[in-house]
Structure 1
């Protein structure tokens, strides 16, 4: 019963174990976009500069629970859950295509539905190729990019991607089932804790992520996205061309011990954006879990300089 209460409380965003969160007025809403009722959390005044926060796999907007209070005094923050993640509705696969292009189209329409016309983006993991698509489609809307382990370079792919590339080239049913291990509990815990300072990561994030991926039907939706990730790698040259063409202000903050998206991916931004600001923190993939205050400080300095 105690565990059930913990899960419900975490879902509602009402507690944060092991952390002292600043008191803010956080709002939790849903809005209809195509066939999805998209859940999102919101903080800060709409009169302030906007930041769209795009989560990764296998997480949700809950991953920003510590960051949003750090910035809500100066920025308007909106963090949606993607279809097949978190609290957003997940239509049946027979009637909804689970691809990164489609998720990006949903988030594109979401930004219009909530009235975001100009905004900075915080992109992480899966949220990066979604956000980079938005930037290519609407470069005039993007005021800045904060990439936290949000890769767009081949050299930023860690060794685990070698097996995935083999799967993309030969997507058998057997390999599809093997990659279901990506959302096993021990794998999710490893994503959160590998490369982080000992004792710095609480159970909130990975416990809730596991709850969500266990919802009916979501395993196959996630399998669809694992296979479709190849579309993101194929678009890397286009993402890079966008950077070279529009030169958006970019801050890369990287968990330097991330085995998925390695530091070379952060340093590569300099090739297309000579003025990119690059920082590393001694953490892993989910760097916000252990370094949200440091990342918020870097964001404040960066955004104060580039966003009016």
Structure 2
């Protein structure tokens, strides 16, 4: 992993969108013409997953990272509908309220599906999508599991099960380079598990999350899309990235060798350069798919 020498202070803010308050980090760019990049984390993650990537982007772009409701430091609301479509709607509402346009959505894992939903709902606010280790083709949870989630103490049991698991082993499963699993990394990724209401939000996500977008829905998305996938991704296999590349009309796929699911931790400099290269291309031109 390469780390940029210049540390960044984290400019944290909170904003109410509809009936839920979100935490976001806004790395303001002095150039008023700088394009806005909104970073959307994946499942069981938060803005922390972009910490190595952000310093490589802030010189050229107005970078904003958000915690989705239920995750990180955002509200663990009991009123919010924790579906991918509603997450997409929230991202669009956030963009509108901030007065931005021509925005690039950068989604990791589940955050990629959120970005795709936003693209389908209102493409006018979005210029391009960058999907990193994007999940896809995951079906809705089965009825028995959803019914079990209403049983007394289900949330307590889920919390005990997760907290007893070895976080180090879990992180090893999302990284190719095991040397990156440090005490600091473990502490930072474990922190949100201790947030009050976190596991209740996970249960609501289990109940509300619809299945991932189907091929015909993906085929309707016309924004230029860059897919980036690790060849050693044990969470979302490379076959998913290849299938998404086939179902999306205007996409290209880049595969990183010897890289796992947390590409932003393992290859931040290379990832930033590929993002910059992609964003320098004309926005509406049919992208050429990269053979892998």
Give the TM-score of the pair, scaled to structure 1: 0.78
Separation in 1, partners of 2:168, 2:43: 12
Equivalent residue number for residue 200 of structure 2: 220
Separation in 1, partners of 2:216, 2:65: 25
**Structure 1 residues not aligned, in runs of 5+:** 1-17, 158-163
Separation in 1, partners of 2:206, 2:263: 22
Give how far 1:269 is off: 3.1
Give how far 1:256 is off: 2.1
Give how far 1:122 is off: 0.7
Of the candidates 2, 9, 33, which is equivalent to residue 17 of structure 2?
33
Separation in 2, partners of 1:225, 1:215: 16
Equivalent residue number for residue 105 of structure 2: 121
1:57 paired with 2:43, answer yes
1:110 paired with 2:88, answer no
1:135 paired with 2:110, answer no
Give the TM-score of the pair, scaled to structure 2: 0.82
1:304 paired with 2:280, answer yes
User: What SS does the corresponding residue of 2:26 show, helix, strand or coil?
Assistant: strand
1:270 paired with 2:245, answer yes
Deviations 1:174-215 (A, max 9, x none): 798576688446365444322411303434444223221222
1:168 paired with 2:142, answer yes
Answer yes or no: is the 8 Å Cα contact 2:92–2:122 preserved in 1.
no
Give how far 1:217 is off: 1.9
Of the candidates 251, 255, 278, which is equivalent to residue 280 of structure 1?
255
Separation in 2, partners of 1:75, 1:273: 26
Of the candidates 193, 196, 217, which is equivalent to residue 172 of structure 2?
193
Separation in 1, partners of 2:158, 2:229: 25
Answer yes or no: is the 8 Å Cα contact 1:252–1:277 preserved in 2.
yes
Deviations 1:138-159 (A, max 9, x none): 112221111111123x3xx6xx
For residues 70 and 259 of structure 1, do their structure 2 counterparts lie closer, same or farther at Cα, with a shift above 3 Å needed? same
Matches within 5 A, 1:82-93: 82-91=68-77, 93=78
Answer yes or no: is the 8 Å Cα contact 2:227–2:251 preserved in 1.
yes
Separation in 1, partners of 2:5, 2:21: 28
For residues 32 and 78 of structure 1, do their structure 2 counterparts lie closer, same or farther at Cα, with a shift above 3 Å needed? same
Of the candidates 211, 215, 234, which is equivalent to residue 232 of structure 1?
211
Separation in 1, partners of 2:244, 2:149: 36
1:149 paired with 2:129, answer no
